[in-house]
Chain A
Amino acid sequence: MTEVLRILIAPLVWLASFSAIYGLHGLLCQNALAAVAGFPAERAVLMAAYGVAIALQIILLWILHHPRFAAPSGLLRFVSRASGWTGLIASVWTLFPVVALPTCF
């Protein structure tokens, strides 16, 4: 089962962080927060969450590449690393609007 988990974990974490940030965004825009030093607080919170999501993926990717945790067989190693990269790229790409767009319109 660990072999299957190794493949699933990174995209699963992406899915969780993606849904969490989408939900967080909805919540933040429902109840406006006070701006901190001229910088909208919603945006700061979302960007922090974005950072955490990417950091998590980088850690996972490192773990999947680390010889101690990597899968024994060649194909499974390849697939688990590919899905690790998928998780990282998906996190950066799909949550990019946090940085690029106005927060609550």
Chain B
Amino acid sequence: MGALFAASGSASDFPLLNALIFVPAVGALVVALLPRSRPDLARPLGTLFAAVGGALALALAWQFDAADAGFQFVSQQSWIPALGISWHVGVDGISLWLVVLTSLVVPIVLAGVDPHHDPKPYTAWMLLLQAGSVGAFVALDLFLFFVMFEVVLVPMYLLIAGWGYEGRRYAATKFFIYTMAGSALLLVAIVATAVLGSPDSGITFDLQTLAEGQLLGENTARLCFVAFAIAFLVKVPVVPLHTWLPDAHTEAPTAGSVVLAAVLLKLGTYGLLRFGLYLFPEASDWAAPVLVTVGVVGVIWGAITAAMQRDLKRLVAYSSVAHMGFIVLGIFAFTAQAVGGGVIQMVNHGISTGALFLLVGMLYERRHTRQIDELAGIQSAAPVYAGVFTLIMLSSVGVPGLNGFVGEFLILIGSFDTRPVWTIIAATGVILAALYLLWAYQRVFHGPPAAADRQTADLRRGELLTLAPFVIAAVALGVYPKPLLNAVEPAADKLLEHFEEYSGFKVPELGDPVVVDHGDSTGEHDEDDH
């Protein structure tokens, strides 16, 4: 393993990406090996490991060269040479912020959310989740990606099954089987892609070699893409492959829900970008109409079903389906704004939905219910809590000035260029988002509080500290998203260039007044006869 830390390539000699994976992984091991007599050490120690990962991620963002569109901090070690499999990691503008998000969210929820029992295994699994997720986001080898993709699955399953609520077993099993089914397809497709798409020099699982080579035949590539896409679409999830999500989210412990929303779902959309658009440009273009459709259907269906949920946590879960649908639309709209907006939305959805799950969890701790009709008038009893909830809710609704708007707006404005009709339909989701969130807010927070509601305690200092990073990020990224966009843009542009080169898709030129014309291109509209 020591060889892995001998970096090659990038700006820094320190193998930052490997450290980002191995620090939490080693942390998981250390926590697991703690003596049984000292379970109290698990969370502090685990938080420390996770936080070191967070600090390293910030260092990564700091050292990241936004002008460089390619992969940075690259580290490559031979792993299974006979099959052309290597430990190949690197980060670009598309994965950078997801790595940062993952590495920051896990320490925050580890520190801020009490698992109530068995802290030792809980902490170890959370750390492994962090390691696996980061690994999946930086993997540049198909096989390595698959391993990381699967590594993530196990701790999540155990966290739901071990620390969840009443229906946890059903939810955990459903989650596991559902995503496993997708993974099976993924594995077959990965092997097929490597076997059939490798250059003559020998088989390889290297993402860049395969993507730049484009050696697969058209039909084979399409078939492989479909398998990849299904695995990712389950993860996103899109309608109708989404029903594992509300169960998993609702039954998962708070920290699990937060990580699930903030990080795990992104594996799906990230995968669609990295292993869809990049690896199969022509097939992506071919399948885009279907994918855009399922994305937009998700936006509307997620919103409508969210509105009718009786369980607050389930409502947030369904809102996730709607928000993730926007990202799918953005990715397959193939413009810089839409794809860039999609990446931004991945981060912002993590912040706002992650915070919503934290908030719902805090309410459950107090009231031991999440049923909307068993709650009322909470704002009177807990104004600070209500204030934070309002802010995050507005962020989720997409009010400008807060983070949620940026991604949504960029996705929509970018998608309108190539897919105006779908964009118009998706934009109605903006109305629906206001409807379901404000309606739920009214029922839970407004109105006259009952006796039990009156006794709902406001936020404690520790909880405020847990929420503070989310609140700060929501405002900061809403007001000044430029640093994120600056890093995302070159990578998104490069990806789209690659995509256009191999797919034959052409993004229409802007500023062409006849794009939406109704045939009358010469008749400038006359201002003189009002």
**A-B complex is real:** no
Interface residues of A (CB under 8 A from B): none
